[in-house]
Amino acid sequence: MVKNINLLLNFWEKKLNRPAVLSKPWKIFIEVSLSCNLRCITCAHSKSTFGGIMKDETFEHIKPVLASARVIHEVGYGEPLLNKTFVEKLRYLKQSDIFVDIYSNGMLLNKETAGHLVDLQLDQITFSIDGGTKETFEAVRSGANYSKVLENIDALHRIKTQKKSKRPFLRVNYVGMRRNIKELPMAIRTLSKIGIKELVLSDMSPPDPDLAQECLYYYKDVADQVIERSKKIAAQCRLNLIVPSAFNDPEIVQTYYNMSGSCPGSMDQNEEFFPNSIEYSDQTNQLANIQPADQSDDNENDCKYADSYKKYPCYEPWQTIYITYDGNVRPCCAMSESFGNIMQSSIEDIWNNKKYRLLRKTVNSKKPAFKACRHCLLRRRVQISFQDGIIMGCKSIINNGIIHTAQRALKYFSEYF
């Protein structure tokens, strides 16, 4: 009852754009690990050394906010299974009637851990798989073993079957690139045989200019053909394939070109994609140098995406907190600036502090106070993804029945609102 009342109050407060709120955050990102055992080329871990594991003491300070939590994403910029007390943390979270999901590269998922995930009824696990062959997969995901990852996923699926459990829901995130897009149909066939029920094709945001030529925005003709074929294969395999409309959204593509410093066209024209890495880092890396805006420069402070703040309002500051492994609190996964630390202040105090009130007051205006909001593509992508979810929901009712669809719809509702 408490969670439902909080959710209704939250809905009302975010619709009114209230800077100070009575409701509590109900969607929480918990970065149980910033460390990773892989060095994927699409990730910042491939370019620098950083990491950290959330201590049990830090996790204890998160517990007070769980009374209002509906969704917990135990994710971050690392591998959650590197946290040696991950299972104990999951056990505590699942006692609080919370939807919990994780992202994993699958390398550390042994049978013992898989058994715990099923017994504790983890709601969902998303595996990162970026190729349909051993060669491509291991080239992209440096340090991973293709066969081992597939075997680990299959073992989890078999344990689910043996225990007659529907949880965790198994899905895959596939980062689409020039080098792997043609292997998508092959990946769908392979993954559907080991229990994967959903595959999300994601567009790549390159961590450095060297990977710019891999972006599918420049290979739309090939990508579109492969995607259409993949949709048919996915339907045959009874696998839900989610493709971002961003690939075909002219505003997002144009914005991408503007941010990257290049002009629309083929990479074969040998255009200078990024004028220099400094401009790239400043304009596109949401994890770098996020500071409140200097209100003296009107042009610099303007939202870069036309009227996106009107058409695609952001609700994250009202409903979400992202807690890093060392206790820093961020408003969402696209900002690196800390709004406080739970080891020094309570989450309740941080939730309505000066920074949070300023963010809520300006995020849906022409002049957001924080730079990350002015350059953010996520608000548009999330809205588009929700629209895609409605369409996929109608198809799911036809293919899978209304009960299964209702369960998945609840997940999408939790994800986007």
Task: List, for residues 249-292, the tens digit of each pLDDT value.
Answer: 655 555 555 544 443 333 333 333 332 332 323 333 332 332 33
* Distance from C-alpha of 58 to C-alpha of 328, rounded to nearest angstrom: 10
Sign of the CA dihedral with 327 first, then 330, 336, and 339 last = negative
pLDDT at 395 over 50: no
Sign of the CA dihedral with 35 first, then 177, 244, and 156 last = negative
> Residue 308 is encoded by which pair of tokens?
């996106």
Is residue 317 within 8 Å of residue 309, measured between CB atoms?
no
> Residue 318 is encoded by which pair of tokens?
């009202």
Class in CATH terms, 24-302+317-371: alpha beta
- The 3-state secondary structure of 63-119, one letter per residue: HHHHHCCCEEEECCCCCHHHCCCHHHHHHHHHCCCCEEEEEECCCCCCHHHHHHHHH
% of the chain residues with pLDDT over 70: 75
Is residue 145 within 8 Å of residue 172, measured between CB atoms?
no
Residue 28, H or E segment: strand 27-30
Q: What is the pLDDT of residue 402?
A: 58
Note the pLDDT tens digit of each residue in 111-130: 999 999 999 999 999 999 99
Could you count the other beta carbons within 10 Å of the beta carbon of residue 359? 25
* Distance from C-alpha of 157 to C-alpha of 29, rounded to nearest angstrom: 26
* Mean pLDDT score, 377-395: 50
Q: What is the pLDDT of residue 75?
A: 82
Q: What is the pLDDT of residue 251?
A: 58
Model pTM score: 0.80
| Strand locations in 118-214 (E) | 124-128, 141-142, 169-176, 198-203
Gyration radius of the chain over CA positions:
21
Distant-in-sequence, close-in-space partners of 224: CB < 8 Å, separation ≥ 6? 247, 248
Note the pLDDT tens digit of each residue in 54-66: 999 999 999 999 9
How many angstroms from the chain centroid is the CA of residue 242? 14
